[in-house]
Structures are given as C-alpha cells and as structure tokens.
Amino acid sequence: MASAKAMGALALLVVMASLSSGTSAVGRQLKFNAKRGEFKILQVADMHFGDGKRTACLDVLPRQASSCSDLNTTSFVRRLILAEKPNLIVFTGDNIFGFDASDAVKSMNQAFGPAVNSGIPWAAVLGNHDQESTLSREGVMTHIVGMKNTLSQLNPGGAHVVDGFGNYNLEVHGAEFSRMENKSVLNLYMLDSGDYSTVPSIPGYGWIKPSQQLWFQHTSARLQKIYSTQPEGQKGAAPGLAYFHIPLPEHASFDPTNSTGVRQEGISSATVNSGFFTTLVAAGDVKAVFTGHDHLNDFCGELSGIHLCYAGGFGYHAYGKAGWSRRARVVVASLEKTQKGSWGTVKSIKTWKRLDDKKLSLIDSQVLWSKSSTNKQRIL
C-alpha cells in the first residue's frame, strides 16, 4: 500500500494538473511587439511605500532630505514607464512597508498607481514586509489581484494547494500574425518566497516550499511539452524567467568574474537551503532569476547556466546608500526572424539597469542568454 506521504503528493499533482490546464483568469494575453519583435519587462523592487507625502525618505543626501518622500518613489516609477515603455511591469515584493503604512489598501493603491494608470499590464509578488500593515498576507495579495490592469493571481486556480500567496505563471505569446502568436515563447514564473521562518529551530527569512517547487516543476514540464509540439525547427524548451523577493543561498556563489553590478551587503537568504535552485537547474528552461530584498546589491552573476540578478533598491522609504542612486532593472527578450521574414522564437534575452538621476542613466547592459551562444555572458 502506498504511504500517506506518497498519496498526498499524488493528490497534489492531480489537483495542480486540473488547475493549470485551463486558461488564465485574466483575459489579457501578453504578446511580443509585432513591429520590433521584442517583449520588455520593467522590474521594480522594494518600493517600501508608506503613507505618501507624509512618509520621509531614508538614506538620501542632506540636501534631498527636506523635500523627499514616497512621492519620489512614485515619480521614479512614472519616469521609467515613460522612458522604457515596457510591455509588463513586475513588482518583486516589499511593495509597501507595513509598519509605516497606516492603511494597507490606501498604501497599495498609491504605490501601484503609476502602473494602474499607465494601462500597461503589471504583476506583483510579496516580500517580507507587505503584510505588516492592516491586512494579512493573503489579504494583501487578494487586494492586488482585484486591482485594475493586473495579471497577478492569488495561487493556481485561486486554491490553497500551494504554500504562500501569489504563485502563478504568465505566458508571453509570439508576435501577432506570426506562426507563434498562439503559443508561449517566453514563460514567466512568479513565486511567493515567504516572509519569516515559522520553524522555531530555524531563524531568519522564509523560503520557497516543496509544494511551490512541485507546482513549478509541473508547470514547467507542461509548458515544455506544449512547446515541443511546435513546427519543425522549433524544438527545445521556451526560455523562462523567475521573479520572487528573497534571494536564494546560491546568490552568494555566483562567479564574480562573470557578472555585472555590485555586491555591497550580505546575501539575506533563508538560513536553510530548500533546494529550489537545483529544481530550477533540473527543469532546464529558466535562464535568469530576479529578486530584491537586499537593496545595496544590484549584481547579476551566472551559476550553472542560470543568471542570479538583483534589481537594486528602488523605493525612497527603503534603506539605501546616500549618493548611490535608486535603480530598477529592465529585461528585453528579442525574437529571431524566420527564413520567410516572419517572427519566430526568442533568440536572446538582455538586461540593464536605470538610475534615478537627471538622465535616467542606463548602466550594466548585458546579454543573459542567446540561442546561438553557449549561454555565456557577454558585456555590451
């Protein structure tokens, strides 16, 4: 007779299969730009939004302090949207700073306001501070899911089969009028990396749990199976990108000779290794992981074929470093041209960062992955 543990795992797989076989609850399909063959993602990490104008900035120059507030964070988001014109905005946690947000709903409405008002699709995951105001962790994610223009989801099918709140995938279809327009050629995985450990013997931050990893494995395998049925010449897995808040222990093991950006503080991962990085490597489709949490780190380094990338601190009510500009990360996936002149599948994935200075300076451009290379980083 099968063990209870084995039966439980089987039941979980059955439920997830039924949940993931349907279409997204949000009826807005992400697609590559048909003119340029690109899909651009703006990552905003650690806004730490409080109560707007009443919330003072942290770690800014003395001449900035008197006039600086959450509104500087809002202005930065708006400037980036206008400059980059992204196809998707992803907020990777600590979107609000709970203890200094007197009303979680009002704080979130202000924090996400620029994205909502832009009309651009956006998605969010939770950090370790989002639930510290007037709503529970589930309540925060439930409110986000109900906001305008968001593609965020509470969990697969809205169920509580998977640990955390905000584990979901977004499919990005090929360009309109191409043969790939009805198939995902880029897969985005959003995960809830938790807040703090609930195990008394394990101190520190949370981690991605076994149920989440099982969901990821099932979703990745399903998407890869669909992708493998494409026309001749389109074999292999569609590239994937993963977004969550708390970095993995492996962020401390990247190759410093094969990276961009800086490491100015320790890696504040969980004190235990849940094995999610190994799960990502084994799945084979994820090319890069994007996190926040450690505001003074903005590096992007490669390990076992996967780039581990920080966005760098964004919000002005988040700790930072006076004189070191707040920043955001941009990722662009580009399609290849087919022999018939139409758009095909993804040929490369690039990234850079934007600084909140007068020119929105663009720094640290690099290629994360290229179909024609051996996935080695190339600095532009």
In this prediction, residues 135-161 reach a mean pLDDT of: 90
pTM (two decimals): 0.91
Reported as a single tens digit per residue, the pLDDT across 80-106 is 999 999 999 999 999 999 889 999 999
Pick the range with the lowest mean pLDDT from 14-18, 177-181, 334-338, 376-380: 14-18
Mean of per-residue pLDDT scores for the chain:
89
47 has a pLDDT exceeding 60: yes
Q: Which of 150-159, 319-328, 342-351 has the lowest mean pLDDT?
A: 150-159
The three state secondary structure string of the chain is CCCHHHHHHHHHHHHHHHHHCCCCCCCCCEECCCCCCEEEEEEECCCCECCHHHCECCCCCHHHHCCCEHHHHHHHHHHHHHHHCCCEEEEECCCECHHHCCCHHHHHHHHCHHHHHHCCCEEEECCCCCCCCCCCHHHHHHHHHCCCCECCCCCHHHCCCCCCCCCEEEEEECCCCCCCCCCEEEEEEECCCCCECCCCCCCCECCCCHHHHHHHHHHHHHHHHHHCCCCCCCCCCCCEEEECCCCCHHHHHCCHHHEECCECCCCCCCCCCCCHHHHHHHHCCEEEEEECCCCCECCEEEECCEEEEECCCCCCCCCCCCCCCCEEEEEEEEEEECCCCCEEEEEEEEEEEEECCCCCCEEEEEEEEECCCCCCCEEC
Place of tokens 């797989």: 13
- Which residues on adjacent β-strands are paired with residue 173? 31, 184
Span 246-271, mean pLDDT? Answer: 92
CATH superfamily, domain at 28-379: Metallo-dependent phosphatases (3.60.21.10)
- Structure confidence by residue, pLDDT tens digits, 224-240: 998 887 664 456 789 99
Q: Tell me the β-bridge partners of 337.
A: 343
Where do the structural domains in the chain lie, given as residue ranges?
28-379
Pairing relationship of beta strands 240-243 and 286-291 according to DSSP bridges? parallel
Span of 25-34, 147-156, 229-238, 270-279 with lowest mean pLDDT: 229-238
- pLDDT of 377 reads 43
What pLDDT, on the 0 to 100 scale, is given for residue 341?
Answer: 81
pLDDT at res. 160: 67
Mean pLDDT of 148-167: 87
pLDDT for 289-326, tens place per residue?
999 999 999 999 999 999 999 999 999 999 999 999 99
Q: What is the mean pLDDT of residues 275-291?
A: 98
Angle at 227 between CA 225 and CA 230, to 5 degrees: 120
